[in-house]
């Protein structure tokens, strides 16, 4: 059974990576005067956050 702390950590990793990717994308949009890097940053953050959350959930299951 997965512990609540492991699930909270996985959710936090997913959300944190998504928000960080979005903020970095917004910053790059501002610096480079583009309109699409925020979406690319959000997508990259969600992908990396999903991978991190998956890894945390797999590690939580091993006892």
Domain boundary assignment for the chain? 4-61
- DSSP conformation class of 8: H
pLDDT computed for residue 4 by the predictor: 83
pLDDT computed for residue 39 by the predictor: 96
pLDDT computed for residue 2 by the predictor: 64
Residue pair 50/14 in contact (Cβ under 8 Å)? The answer is yes
Q: At what angle do helices 4-32 and 37-61 cross, to 10 degrees?
A: 160
Query: What percent of the chain has pLDDT above 70?
Result: 94
> H helices within the chain, ranges in order?
4-32, 37-61
Low-confidence ranges of the chain (pLDDT < 50): none
Residue with tokens 């480079």: 32
């Amino acid at each position: 059974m997965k512990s609540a702390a492991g699930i909270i950590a996985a959710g936090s990793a997913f959300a944190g990576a998504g928000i960080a990717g979005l903020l970095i994308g917004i910053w790059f949009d501002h610096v480079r005067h583009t309109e699409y890097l925020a979406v690319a940053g959000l997508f990259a953050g969600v992908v990396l956050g999903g991978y991190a959350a998956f890894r945390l959930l797999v590690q939580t299951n091993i006892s």
